[in-house]
Structure 1
Amino acid sequence: MTKTTLTEKIEILARFARKPRDIGEMLAWIAPDGDGNQDPPEKTLVHESIQMTNAEYDDFADNMLEPRAWIEGGGFFGKFRIAIAIESEGRQTLYLDPSGHNYGRYVGIAA
């Protein structure tokens, strides 16, 4: 795992799930419901990138509520959610806002 603080924050739109157990629950949470409704995407500033091996990524994706030493920060800056990009080759980038906790409190994907 390689953690990089970005010199310039990246602005994206992302949809987040609150306290998802795993990536399946996160994706179900942010998918449109039967009426085509879903929460609007949120303005998000990515301030840090974490490059993971596929095994590390899969472990996080399967156990998002597990406390982890590398998770910190998050919250809001004005109208923006502050997030960490979690990346792994061949995997979808996840955006994590721990909101001061050490687990996947809010996890999402780019809208």
Structure 2
Amino acid sequence: MTATICRPYAATVRFSRKPANLRSILREHSGYHIEEERVSVNAIKTMTAAEYDAYVCDMSRAQDWIASFKGLGDRCVVIRAPARLTLYIRPDGYDYARYVGLADAD
């Protein structure tokens, strides 16, 4: 697992608030209209497929790596893993994934 601070760039994302896991995000995105938000991405978190799979099973747990980004306000951290959906995490001052989103193109 590596985290890289990147030059901020804009993304259009549809967020779920306090999701339990990836399944709940996908269910919410398929069954409800979720407004798109324009956010600033300032870090990229690269995970292995196994790390990603373990993380998306319980997104409500506190994570040390999220705690290091929690003071960023409306900025996001992108999570990438091979052959997995790209996730956008907005901690909004917390040490867990308070908001998790999918890019509009996903």
Report the TM-score when normalising by structure 2.
0.89
- The reply to whether residue 65 of structure 1 matches residue 60 of structure 2 is yes
Q: Which amino acid aligns with 2:10?
A: E
Query: Larger Rg: 1 or 2?
Result: 1
Out of 90, 93, 100, the position equivalent to 1:97 is: 90
Matched residues, number: 101
> Which runs of 5 or more structure 1 residues have no equivalent in the other structure?
77-81
Name the aligned partner's letter for residue 17 of structure 1: S
What's the Cα RMSD here? Answer: 1.1
Q: TM-score, normalised by structure 1?
A: 0.85
Structure 2 portions without partners, runs of 5+: none
2:11 counterpart letter in structure 1:
I
Which deviations, in whole Å up to 9, do the C-alpha atoms of 1:58-77 show, x marking residues without a partner? 1111110011100032422x
Query: Equivalent residues in 2 for 1:18-37 (5 A)?
Result: 18-33=17-32
In 2: Cα distance, 1:89 partner to 1:83 partner: 20
How far apart are 1:106 and its partner, in Å? 0.3
Identity of aligned residues (%): 34
The structure whose residues are more often helix, as a share, is 2
Spell out structure 1 runs of 4+ moving beyond 6 A. none
